[in-house]
Structure 1
Amino acid sequence: MARIEPTEPRTEELDTRYGEPGATATPWREAVALLTAAELFWLTTVRPEGRPHVTPLLAVWADGALYFCTGAEERKSRNLAANPEVVLTTGTNALAGGCDLVVEGTAVRVTDEARLTALAGAWEAKYGADWHFEVRDGGFAGDRGNVAVVHEVAPRTAFGFGKAPYSQTRWRF
Protein backbone atom coordinates (compact mmCIF):
# COMPACT_ATOMS: atom_id res chain seq x y z
CA MET A 1 0.00 0.00 0.00
CA ALA A 2 1.35 3.41 -0.90
CA ARG A 3 0.37 5.44 2.15
CA ILE A 4 2.68 5.79 5.15
CA GLU A 5 1.69 4.34 8.52
CA PRO A 6 0.67 7.18 10.86
CA THR A 7 2.57 7.91 14.03
CA GLU A 8 1.83 6.23 17.32
CA PRO A 9 -1.27 7.28 19.25
CA ARG A 10 -0.94 10.42 21.37
CA THR A 11 -1.39 8.45 24.59
CA GLU A 12 -1.07 4.88 25.68
CA GLU A 13 -2.74 4.44 29.03
CA LEU A 14 -2.99 1.45 31.31
CA ASP A 15 -6.15 1.55 33.43
CA THR A 16 -5.04 -0.17 36.62
CA ARG A 17 -8.63 -0.50 37.85
CA TYR A 18 -9.14 -3.30 35.31
CA GLY A 19 -5.86 -5.15 35.46
CA GLU A 20 -3.71 -7.38 37.55
CA PRO A 21 -0.67 -6.25 39.51
CA GLY A 22 2.35 -6.12 37.25
CA ALA A 23 0.33 -5.62 34.07
CA THR A 24 1.75 -3.16 31.57
CA ALA A 25 0.18 -1.20 28.74
CA THR A 26 0.11 -3.06 25.43
CA PRO A 27 2.31 -1.24 22.91
CA TRP A 28 0.42 0.07 19.88
CA ARG A 29 2.71 -1.85 17.51
CA GLU A 30 1.47 -5.10 19.11
CA ALA A 31 -2.14 -4.02 18.66
CA VAL A 32 -1.42 -3.22 14.99
CA ALA A 33 0.05 -6.70 14.50
CA LEU A 34 -3.12 -8.23 15.97
CA LEU A 35 -5.38 -6.02 13.83
CA THR A 36 -3.39 -6.98 10.74
CA ALA A 37 -3.62 -10.72 11.45
CA ALA A 38 -7.25 -10.85 12.67
CA GLU A 39 -9.56 -12.65 10.26
CA LEU A 40 -12.95 -11.76 11.71
CA PHE A 41 -14.23 -8.47 13.12
CA TRP A 42 -17.56 -7.51 14.68
CA LEU A 43 -18.93 -4.22 13.33
CA THR A 44 -21.30 -2.23 15.52
CA THR A 45 -23.44 0.44 13.86
CA VAL A 46 -26.47 2.34 15.12
CA ARG A 47 -29.93 1.89 13.60
CA PRO A 48 -31.87 5.07 12.76
CA GLU A 49 -34.06 4.63 15.85
CA GLY A 50 -30.95 4.32 18.06
CA ARG A 51 -30.71 0.56 18.62
CA PRO A 52 -27.32 -1.08 18.05
CA HIS A 53 -26.70 -3.44 15.15
CA VAL A 54 -23.77 -5.88 15.33
CA THR A 55 -22.57 -8.13 12.52
CA PRO A 56 -19.41 -10.12 11.76
CA LEU A 57 -17.35 -9.23 8.71
CA LEU A 58 -13.90 -9.30 7.19
CA ALA A 59 -11.61 -6.29 7.48
CA VAL A 60 -8.14 -5.26 6.41
CA TRP A 61 -5.74 -3.07 8.39
CA ALA A 62 -3.81 -0.79 6.04
CA ASP A 63 -2.08 2.55 6.44
CA GLY A 64 -3.34 3.24 9.94
CA ALA A 65 -7.00 2.33 9.41
CA LEU A 66 -9.39 -0.60 9.21
CA TYR A 67 -11.30 -1.16 5.96
CA PHE A 68 -14.48 -3.17 5.50
CA CYS A 69 -16.97 -3.62 2.69
CA THR A 70 -20.69 -4.28 2.58
CA GLY A 71 -23.56 -4.21 0.16
CA ALA A 72 -25.09 -0.78 -0.39
CA GLU A 73 -28.56 -2.00 0.60
CA GLU A 74 -27.55 -3.99 3.68
CA ARG A 75 -28.67 -2.90 7.15
CA LYS A 76 -25.18 -1.73 8.10
CA SER A 77 -24.94 0.51 5.01
CA ARG A 78 -28.32 2.02 5.74
CA ASN A 79 -27.25 2.60 9.34
CA LEU A 80 -24.02 4.28 8.21
CA ALA A 81 -25.98 6.64 5.96
CA ALA A 82 -27.74 7.98 9.07
CA ASN A 83 -24.83 7.75 11.54
CA PRO A 84 -21.26 6.92 10.47
CA GLU A 85 -19.97 6.29 14.01
CA VAL A 86 -18.84 2.66 14.41
CA VAL A 87 -16.99 0.22 16.62
CA LEU A 88 -14.96 -2.68 15.24
CA THR A 89 -14.06 -5.48 17.65
CA THR A 90 -11.77 -8.47 17.25
CA GLY A 91 -9.73 -10.79 19.41
CA THR A 92 -9.42 -14.24 20.82
CA ASN A 93 -12.75 -14.52 22.64
CA ALA A 94 -10.85 -16.56 25.24
CA LEU A 95 -11.01 -15.98 28.97
CA ALA A 96 -7.31 -16.53 29.58
CA GLY A 97 -4.64 -15.50 27.11
CA GLY A 98 -4.51 -13.25 24.11
CA CYS A 99 -5.82 -9.77 23.60
CA ASP A 100 -9.17 -8.43 22.44
CA LEU A 101 -9.26 -5.10 20.59
CA VAL A 102 -11.93 -2.44 20.18
CA VAL A 103 -11.52 0.36 17.61
CA GLU A 104 -13.86 3.36 17.67
CA GLY A 105 -14.11 5.76 14.77
CA THR A 106 -16.09 7.21 11.89
CA ALA A 107 -16.73 5.12 8.77
CA VAL A 108 -15.82 7.07 5.63
CA ARG A 109 -16.65 5.68 2.22
CA VAL A 110 -13.69 5.03 -0.09
CA THR A 111 -14.33 5.72 -3.79
CA ASP A 112 -10.88 6.54 -5.18
CA GLU A 113 -10.15 3.91 -7.85
CA ALA A 114 -6.42 3.65 -7.10
CA ARG A 115 -7.10 3.24 -3.38
CA LEU A 116 -9.82 0.66 -4.02
CA THR A 117 -7.49 -1.29 -6.33
CA ALA A 118 -4.81 -1.40 -3.63
CA LEU A 119 -7.38 -2.47 -1.04
CA ALA A 120 -8.77 -5.19 -3.33
CA GLY A 121 -5.24 -6.57 -3.56
CA ALA A 122 -4.92 -6.43 0.23
CA TRP A 123 -8.20 -8.36 0.64
CA GLU A 124 -7.05 -11.11 -1.69
CA ALA A 125 -3.57 -11.27 -0.12
CA LYS A 126 -5.11 -11.68 3.33
CA TYR A 127 -8.15 -13.85 2.63
CA GLY A 128 -7.22 -15.72 -0.55
CA ALA A 129 -8.59 -16.01 -4.09
CA ASP A 130 -12.17 -16.49 -2.87
CA TRP A 131 -12.05 -12.80 -1.91
CA HIS A 132 -10.90 -11.44 -5.27
CA PHE A 133 -12.61 -8.16 -6.20
CA GLU A 134 -12.63 -6.04 -9.32
CA VAL A 135 -13.00 -2.31 -8.81
CA ARG A 136 -16.11 -0.93 -10.46
CA ASP A 137 -18.62 1.87 -9.83
CA GLY A 138 -16.78 3.16 -6.76
CA GLY A 139 -16.62 -0.16 -4.96
CA PHE A 140 -15.74 -3.85 -5.06
CA ALA A 141 -17.46 -6.01 -7.67
CA GLY A 142 -17.61 -9.68 -6.80
CA ASP A 143 -18.32 -12.71 -8.97
CA ARG A 144 -22.10 -12.26 -8.53
CA GLY A 145 -21.98 -8.81 -10.10
CA ASN A 146 -23.01 -6.91 -6.97
CA VAL A 147 -20.93 -3.90 -5.98
CA ALA A 148 -19.96 -3.59 -2.32
CA VAL A 149 -19.12 -0.19 -0.85
CA VAL A 150 -15.84 0.11 1.04
CA HIS A 151 -15.40 2.10 4.25
CA GLU A 152 -12.32 3.32 6.09
CA VAL A 153 -12.27 3.62 9.87
CA ALA A 154 -9.28 5.51 11.23
CA PRO A 155 -9.12 4.91 14.99
CA ARG A 156 -10.21 7.78 17.19
CA THR A 157 -9.89 5.70 20.35
CA ALA A 158 -8.89 2.07 20.69
CA PHE A 159 -8.82 -0.34 23.61
CA GLY A 160 -6.79 -3.48 24.21
CA PHE A 161 -7.97 -6.04 26.74
CA GLY A 162 -5.04 -8.29 27.64
CA LYS A 163 -5.68 -11.54 29.45
CA ALA A 164 -2.30 -12.84 30.49
CA PRO A 165 -2.08 -10.88 32.74
CA TYR A 166 -5.41 -9.03 32.66
CA SER A 167 -4.96 -5.44 31.53
CA GLN A 168 -6.81 -2.63 29.79
CA THR A 169 -4.92 -0.25 27.51
CA ARG A 170 -6.43 2.83 25.87
CA TRP A 171 -4.93 4.56 22.85
CA ARG A 172 -6.09 8.02 21.75
CA PHE A 173 -5.50 9.38 18.25
Structure 2
Amino acid sequence: MPAETMLDPRYSDPEAAAGDWSEAVARLSAAEVYWLTTVRPDGRPHVTPLIAVWSEGALHFCTGPDERKARNLSANPRVALTTGTNSLSEGFDLVVEGEAVQVTDEGRLRALAEAYVKKYGEVWRFEVRDGAFVGDGGTALVFSVAPRTAFGFAKGDRFGQTRWRF
Protein backbone atom coordinates (compact mmCIF):
# COMPACT_ATOMS: atom_id res chain seq x y z
CA MET A 1 0.00 0.00 0.00
CA PRO A 2 1.18 3.53 -0.65
CA ALA A 3 2.62 5.55 2.19
CA GLU A 4 0.97 8.69 0.85
CA THR A 5 -1.94 9.41 -1.50
CA MET A 6 -2.42 12.95 -2.73
CA LEU A 7 -4.77 14.63 -5.21
CA ASP A 8 -2.93 17.47 -6.94
CA PRO A 9 -5.37 20.41 -7.05
CA ARG A 10 -3.35 22.12 -9.79
CA TYR A 11 -4.40 19.45 -12.28
CA SER A 12 -7.72 18.34 -10.83
CA ASP A 13 -11.34 19.39 -11.00
CA PRO A 14 -12.45 21.02 -7.72
CA GLU A 15 -14.89 18.12 -7.19
CA ALA A 16 -12.39 15.36 -8.04
CA ALA A 17 -11.34 12.85 -5.40
CA ALA A 18 -7.98 11.12 -5.04
CA GLY A 19 -7.84 7.78 -6.80
CA ASP A 20 -7.87 4.60 -4.75
CA TRP A 21 -4.68 2.53 -5.02
CA SER A 22 -6.60 -0.77 -5.06
CA GLU A 23 -8.49 0.44 -8.16
CA ALA A 24 -5.19 1.46 -9.76
CA VAL A 25 -3.81 -2.03 -9.09
CA ALA A 26 -6.91 -3.56 -10.71
CA ARG A 27 -6.28 -1.40 -13.79
CA LEU A 28 -2.58 -2.26 -13.83
CA SER A 29 -3.47 -5.95 -13.61
CA ALA A 30 -6.04 -5.80 -16.41
CA ALA A 31 -4.12 -3.66 -18.91
CA GLU A 32 -2.84 -5.51 -21.96
CA VAL A 33 -0.25 -3.04 -23.29
CA TYR A 34 2.21 -0.90 -21.36
CA TRP A 35 4.81 1.62 -22.51
CA LEU A 36 8.26 1.27 -20.96
CA THR A 37 10.59 4.26 -20.78
CA THR A 38 14.28 3.60 -20.15
CA VAL A 39 17.31 5.86 -20.47
CA ARG A 40 19.97 5.31 -23.14
CA PRO A 41 23.64 5.60 -22.14
CA ASP A 42 23.80 9.08 -23.72
CA GLY A 43 20.80 10.24 -21.64
CA ARG A 44 18.17 10.12 -24.39
CA PRO A 45 14.89 8.38 -23.54
CA HIS A 46 13.90 5.09 -25.13
CA VAL A 47 10.18 4.23 -25.17
CA THR A 48 8.70 0.95 -26.34
CA PRO A 49 5.38 -0.89 -25.97
CA LEU A 50 5.36 -4.28 -24.27
CA ILE A 51 3.20 -6.69 -22.31
CA ALA A 52 3.51 -7.18 -18.57
CA VAL A 53 1.90 -8.85 -15.58
CA TRP A 54 1.17 -7.46 -12.11
CA SER A 55 2.27 -9.82 -9.35
CA GLU A 56 3.28 -9.42 -5.71
CA GLY A 57 3.10 -5.63 -5.75
CA ALA A 58 5.05 -5.05 -8.95
CA LEU A 59 4.82 -5.01 -12.73
CA HIS A 60 6.91 -7.65 -14.51
CA PHE A 61 8.10 -7.61 -18.11
CA CYS A 62 10.66 -9.49 -20.17
CA THR A 63 13.11 -8.59 -22.90
CA GLY A 64 15.92 -10.20 -24.85
CA PRO A 65 19.37 -9.62 -23.34
CA ASP A 66 20.59 -7.85 -26.50
CA GLU A 67 17.56 -5.58 -26.92
CA ARG A 68 17.95 -1.82 -26.38
CA LYS A 69 15.83 -1.82 -23.21
CA ALA A 70 17.95 -4.56 -21.59
CA ARG A 71 21.16 -2.74 -22.50
CA ASN A 72 19.72 0.50 -21.10
CA LEU A 73 18.71 -1.22 -17.86
CA SER A 74 22.19 -2.61 -17.32
CA ALA A 75 23.48 0.98 -17.04
CA ASN A 76 20.46 2.67 -15.44
CA PRO A 77 17.62 0.69 -13.83
CA ARG A 78 15.27 3.70 -13.41
CA VAL A 79 12.12 3.31 -15.51
CA ALA A 80 8.58 4.49 -16.03
CA LEU A 81 5.79 2.16 -17.15
CA THR A 82 2.57 3.70 -18.45
CA THR A 83 -0.80 2.37 -19.50
CA GLY A 84 -4.28 3.76 -20.07
CA THR A 85 -6.37 5.04 -22.94
CA ASN A 86 -5.72 7.43 -25.79
CA SER A 87 -9.03 9.20 -25.20
CA LEU A 88 -9.26 12.61 -23.54
CA SER A 89 -12.94 12.37 -22.62
CA GLU A 90 -12.89 9.10 -20.69
CA GLY A 91 -10.64 6.58 -19.00
CA PHE A 92 -7.83 6.51 -16.52
CA ASP A 93 -4.11 6.64 -17.27
CA LEU A 94 -1.40 5.29 -14.98
CA VAL A 95 2.32 5.94 -14.65
CA VAL A 96 4.50 3.74 -12.44
CA GLU A 97 8.01 4.95 -11.66
CA GLY A 98 10.60 2.68 -10.07
CA GLU A 99 13.70 0.61 -10.64
CA ALA A 100 13.76 -2.49 -12.80
CA VAL A 101 15.28 -5.40 -10.89
CA GLN A 102 16.10 -8.60 -12.73
CA VAL A 103 14.23 -11.66 -11.46
CA THR A 104 16.36 -14.82 -11.51
CA ASP A 105 14.75 -17.03 -8.85
CA GLU A 106 13.44 -20.01 -10.80
CA GLY A 107 10.42 -20.57 -8.56
CA ARG A 108 9.39 -16.95 -8.97
CA LEU A 109 10.02 -17.14 -12.72
CA ARG A 110 7.80 -20.22 -13.04
CA ALA A 111 4.98 -18.37 -11.27
CA LEU A 112 5.44 -15.38 -13.58
CA ALA A 113 5.53 -17.63 -16.65
CA GLU A 114 2.16 -19.05 -15.61
CA ALA A 115 0.85 -15.51 -15.04
CA TYR A 116 1.78 -14.64 -18.64
CA VAL A 117 -0.13 -17.66 -19.98
CA LYS A 118 -3.15 -16.89 -17.79
CA LYS A 119 -3.26 -13.28 -18.98
CA TYR A 120 -2.12 -13.49 -22.61
CA GLY A 121 -2.72 -17.11 -23.66
CA GLU A 122 -0.63 -20.07 -24.74
CA VAL A 123 1.28 -18.07 -27.37
CA TRP A 124 3.11 -16.47 -24.42
CA ARG A 125 4.15 -19.71 -22.72
CA PHE A 126 7.78 -19.69 -21.55
CA GLU A 127 10.05 -22.34 -20.12
CA VAL A 128 12.26 -21.31 -17.22
CA ARG A 129 15.93 -22.07 -17.61
CA ASP A 130 19.12 -20.61 -16.13
CA GLY A 131 17.32 -17.72 -14.40
CA ALA A 132 15.40 -16.51 -17.46
CA PHE A 133 12.41 -17.19 -19.70
CA VAL A 134 13.05 -19.26 -22.82
CA GLY A 135 10.57 -19.27 -25.70
CA ASP A 136 10.34 -19.37 -29.47
CA GLY A 137 12.16 -16.03 -29.68
CA GLY A 138 15.07 -17.20 -27.53
CA THR A 139 16.07 -16.15 -24.03
CA ALA A 140 14.30 -13.30 -22.26
CA LEU A 141 15.42 -11.61 -19.06
CA VAL A 142 12.60 -10.86 -16.63
CA PHE A 143 12.40 -7.60 -14.68
CA SER A 144 10.26 -6.50 -11.74
CA VAL A 145 9.28 -2.86 -11.16
CA ALA A 146 7.82 -2.10 -7.75
CA PRO A 147 6.32 1.40 -7.68
CA ARG A 148 8.31 4.10 -5.89
CA THR A 149 5.88 6.73 -7.11
CA ALA A 150 2.78 6.24 -9.25
CA PHE A 151 0.41 8.70 -10.86
CA GLY A 152 -3.22 8.25 -11.85
CA PHE A 153 -4.93 10.57 -14.32
CA ALA A 154 -8.74 10.51 -14.28
CA LYS A 155 -10.32 11.87 -17.47
CA GLY A 156 -13.79 12.92 -18.44
CA ASP A 157 -16.22 14.95 -16.35
CA ARG A 158 -13.85 15.23 -13.37
CA PHE A 159 -10.23 15.37 -14.37
CA GLY A 160 -7.93 14.47 -11.51
CA GLN A 161 -4.28 13.71 -10.86
CA THR A 162 -3.46 11.42 -7.96
CA ARG A 163 0.06 10.71 -6.76
CA TRP A 164 0.89 7.64 -4.70
CA ARG A 165 4.26 7.44 -2.93
CA PHE A 166 5.56 4.18 -1.50
With the length of structure 1 as denominator, give the TM-score of the two structures: 0.94
Which is worse superposed, 130-139 or 102-111? 130-139
Give the match for residue 132 of structure 2.
139
Name the % identity.
Answer: 66
- 2:39 matched residue in structure 1: 46
The runs of 5 or more residues in structure 1 that have no matched partner are 1-7
Q: Give the letter aligned to residue 154 of structure 2.
A: G
User: C-alpha deviations, 1:20-70, integer Å up to 9, x for none?
Assistant: 120000100000000000000000000000000000000100110000000
TM-score w.r.t. length of structure 2: 0.98
Give ranges in structure 2 of 5+ residues lacking alignment.
Answer: none
1:83 aligns with 2:76: yes
State the shift of 1:96 in Å. Answer: 1.1
RMSD: 0.7
Q: 1:152 aligns with which of 141, 144, 155?
A: 144
2:154 corresponds to which residue? 162
Matches within 5 A, 1:92-171: 92-144=85-137, 146-164=138-156, 165-171=158-164
2:12 aligns with one of 12, 19, 24: 19
Return structure 1 stretches of 4+ with deviation > 4 angstroms. none
